[in-house]
Amino acid sequence: MKSVLVTGGSGRLARYVIDYLLERDYRVTGFDCVAPSGADYPKGVQFVKGDLTTLEDCMRAISLSEADAIIHLAAIPYDTDLHPGQPRIQNLPEDECMKVNTMGTYYLMDAARRFKHVRTVAFASSYYALGLGRRLSGTPFQVDYLPIDEEHPNRPEDTYALSKVFGEEILRAYSRAYGIRAVAFRLQGIDWPFRKDDYKYGITLAAKPDHIGGPVITTYQYVDPRDAAQAFTLAIEAENLDMFEAFHLLTDSRHVEDTREVVGKVWPDLVGMATHLEGTEGLITAHKLRTKLGYKPQYSWRNQPNHQ
Ligand SMILES: NC(=O)c1ccc[n+]([C@@H]2O[C@H](COP(=O)([O-])OP(=O)(O)OC[C@H]3O[C@@H](n4cnc5c(N)ncnc54)[C@H](O)[C@@H]3O)[C@@H](O)[C@H]2O)c1
């Protein structure tokens, strides 16, 4: 039986990943600085409480788990910087996102390389790595070509996006140096089944003739956490990957119209790049994930029976 360590093991996505792994008979250890609620944590899962930003705790978690693979989800899942003109209620120190996400990934990888049994690390990056999340400069997001794939330049501005780019580079360096296979998933925004009433599907977007440049915050795409769990599991099982690979990870777009039509209405500057687009997948493509990893998303709103 294969053993998997899931960092961020008390978090929202982790719960779906852990359930998916258990259904496939993996031995699972969760690792998080916050203990999960014992009442509804899956039986048979070992949990290690510790801080990702210390080498000792990362080593303890890896050692206790005897992991063949690590699924690295622990993070501050948003930027924590303060900026004049973009007011927010501060709940964490400004450097927390950078510290946890970047140094945490470094300590995890530096711990992993000390244990010969860790063969693969799969990491939750984000489509925000592209730089379309918080536009601190106030300038439009630049799209070089469509659809956006894994080769498109990342131009992060905020610390969350930057921490994900650094996280990917840390994985890449450790795979190069120590032969640990590493996979980074650039997840779309996750639509949680327990908040399904908050999300809109089957939308017809209003025209925005004055919009300049590419999308900001949303591309009107999403990933279901159960599909994300499938992708992470495929990554730790794959035999055909390069030592480091990045994949965009999404389930579907939310719009009914073809992407080409949506671009013409919502991002008119990009219309010349969209002429060859077919179908409704959206601005970012998961083509590489489908063709190289055999990913088959199950939770599109378009096949209603599964979309609960
Ligand atoms: N939620 C989304 O829409 C989304 C989109 C793209 C990418 N992601 C990425 O997916 C991953 C999981 O996201 P989520 O929504 O489940 O987040 P979450 O906040 O629910 O889970 C993250 C977990 O990390 C833990 N953690 C934070 N700091 C830690 C530390 N120092 N040591 C140990 N554990 C620590 C937290 O306690 C939490 O349980 C994150 O890496 C996030 O950046 C999420």
Contact 115, 62 (CB under 8 A): yes
User: Quick check: helix, strand or coil at residue 4?
Assistant: strand
Angle at the Cα of 269 from the Cα atoms of 267 and 271, rounded to 5 degrees: 80
How many structural domains comprise the chain? 1
Give pLDDT, residue 169: 98
What distance in angstroms lies between residue 100's CA and the mean position of ligand 1's atoms? Answer: 10
Contact 73, 17 (CB under 8 A): yes
Angle at the Cα of 239 from the Cα atoms of 237 and 245, rounded to 5 degrees: 90
Mutate to test the pocket of ligand 1, among 6, 7, 12 (most ligand atoms within 8 A of CB): 12
Q: Which atom of ligand 1 is nearest to the CA of 104?
A: 31
Q: What is the mean pLDDT of each run of 10 residues along the chain (308 residues)?
A: 94 98 97 92 95 98 98 97 86 96 98 97 98 93 98 97 98 98 98 91 95 96 98 96 98 97 97 96 98 97 72
Give pLDDT, residue 213: 95
Rounded Cα–Cα distance for residues 156 and 132 (Å): 8
Query: What is the residue range of 188's domain?
Result: 3-198+222-251
49, burial (CB in 10 Å: exposed 0-12, middle 13-18, buried 19+): middle
In a domain, 146, yes or no: yes
Residues with CB under 6 A from ligand 1: 8, 10-13, 32-34, 51-53, 73-77, 100, 104, 124, 126, 187, 189-190
**Peptide bond connecting 147 to the previous residue in cis, omega within 30 degrees of 0:** yes
Contact 118, 108 (CB under 8 A): no
Give pLDDT, residue 39: 85
Rounded Cα–Cα distance for residues 206 and 144 (Å): 24
Give pLDDT, residue 183: 98
In a domain, 243, yes or no: yes
Instruction: For the beta carbon of residue 37, count every other beta carbon within 10 angstroms.
Output: 8
Instruction: For the beta carbon of residue 205, count every other beta carbon within 10 angstroms.
Output: 14
Q: Model's pTM, two decimal places? A: 0.97
In a domain, 115, yes or no: yes
Q: Whats the size of the chain, residue-wise?
A: 308
In a domain, 32, yes or no: yes
Q: List the CATH number of the domain containing 160.
A: 3.40.50.720
**Nearest 5°: phi and psi at 104?**
-60, -45
In a domain, 215, yes or no: no
- The residues facing 7 across adjacent strands are 31, 72
Contact 252, 285 (CB under 8 A): no
In a domain, 265, yes or no: no
Rg over CA atoms, the chain: 19
In a domain, 292, yes or no: no
